[in-house]
Amino acid sequence: MGVPAAAAASANPLTPITAAAASVSDGGTTASTTLPVDVLIAARDAGLPIYEVGRTVVTHASKMGAVYATEYRRVDEVDALSSPTTKFVAVGAAAPENFHVVRGSGYNRSAIAVNMRPVNGIFDSFTYDVTPQTWVNSPLVELQGGGPGIGIALVR
């Protein structure tokens, strides 16, 4: 009588995340094309934080151009993972629950900013506190048939 063959090991649903995270940490610029919502759920279940993109605000505007800050907020509810907002699976250091990344000429384009608050004045502008952390994200994967764009973010 033969011994039953061992069941094939199930594929690790986090493989696309670890591969993309390794690429980003090595300076790569490509993301896997296999990051479906199921991978977001697996990442959440494994304890990896997932952030969604919120609003973008102008922090400063001048003749030289505008400086923008994009809000990122942590998604904890599994039902929110399939919402159409852009999502990032974060790897590396722990990031705040809610923060902004400032983008514009002459600024650290990946600095994590907190305590976004309006500046009293004529223009709608904001000020903030910069943390020593950075946010480096991969290009997004757009899912077929809708759903969120998904990427990997390395927090340092």
User: What residues does each domain of the chain span?
Assistant: 15-155
Check whether 7 has a pLDDT greater than 70: no
Check whether 4 has a pLDDT greater than 50: no
Give the pLDDT mean for 63-89. Answer: 86
Structure tokens at 138: 């991969």
Return the amino acid letter for 16.
P
| CB of 138 closer than 8 Å to CB of 152 | yes
Q: What is the pTM of this model?
A: 0.73
Instruction: Tell me the three state secondary structure of residue 38.
Output: helix
Note the pLDDT of residue 91. Answer: 86
Closest CA to 147 of 88, 85, 74, 80: 85
Note the pLDDT of residue 8. Answer: 39
Output the CA torsion sign for 55, 133, 31, 49. Answer: negative
Check whether 85 has a pLDDT greater than 80: yes
Check whether 27 has a pLDDT greater than 60: no
Contact partners, residue 78, CB within 8 Å, separation at least 6? 41, 44
Interatomic CA distance for residues 8 and 144, integer angstroms = 29
Give the pLDDT mean for 55-74. Answer: 86
Give the pLDDT mean for 3-15. Answer: 47
Exposed/middle/buried for residue 64 (C-beta within 10 Å: 0-12, 13-18, 19+): exposed
**DSSP element (H, E) containing 93:** none
